[in-house]
Amino acid sequence: MPVKIKRTSAISSLSITPLIDVVFLLLIFFLVSSRFSEEERELDLNLPSVTEALPASAQPDEMVVNVDEQGRYFIDGAFRQVEQVEQILRRAKANNPLTQAVVIRADRKAHWEPVATAIGLCKKVGINDFTATMDEE
């Protein structure tokens, strides 16, 4: 005996005309807005030149902290005590609060304790963008 399924009135009254209207309106909106953006780029302007300006998206240089095999810290080629390293990192963080990066380079014969101390100093001053590597040379 076959089963009879009654069709409900909800399916028969469903109209997709408003959905099609919305799709066409979105299509027209994106076509018009993309045309305006092209016209702005095509405008012939004689822009001034500036030789001293830096690009707005320039990233600050990475700060490099070197650790030799005795566990001593060197920044900019000069020996630094742990307190000096912390002060330099604080100053760098204050100058570039969002984008300061630090690279910690350690001699391959160095112990990891000074490297861990340098990582801890970065965390202490609020620098989260740091990398620790062992020098292969």
pLDDT of residue 24: 93
| Residue 2 CA: distances (Å) to CA of 5, 7, 126 | 10, 16, 73
In the chain the domains, ranked by start, together with CATH numbers, are 9-42 (no CATH), 63-135 (3.30.420.270)
Q: What is the pLDDT averaged over residues 110-133? A: 90
- The pLDDT score that the predictor gives to residue 6 is 67
Mean pLDDT of the chain: 80
Supply the pLDDT for residue 30.
85
pLDDT over 70 for what percent of the chain?
Answer: 72
pLDDT in tens, 33-55: 776 655 555 555 565 666 666 56
Q: Residue 30 is encoded by which pair of tokens?
A: 């994106």
Supply the pLDDT for residue 43: 53
Q: What is the pLDDT of residues 61-89, one digit of tens each?
A: 788 899 988 989 999 888 999 999 999 99
Instruction: Please tell me the predicted confidence (pLDDT) of residue 59.
Output: 59
Supply the pLDDT for residue 51. Answer: 67
pTM over 0.75: no
- State the Cα angle at 48 between 35 and 55, rounded to 5°: 80
Q: Which contiguous run of DSSP H or E holds residue 84?
A: helix 82-95
What are the Cα distances from residue 124, in Å, to 63, 87, 89, 97, 121? 16, 11, 10, 14, 5
Structure tokens at 16: 């997709």
Q: What is the pLDDT of residue 44?
A: 59
Q: Residue 73 and residue 77: Cα distance in Å, rounded?
A: 9
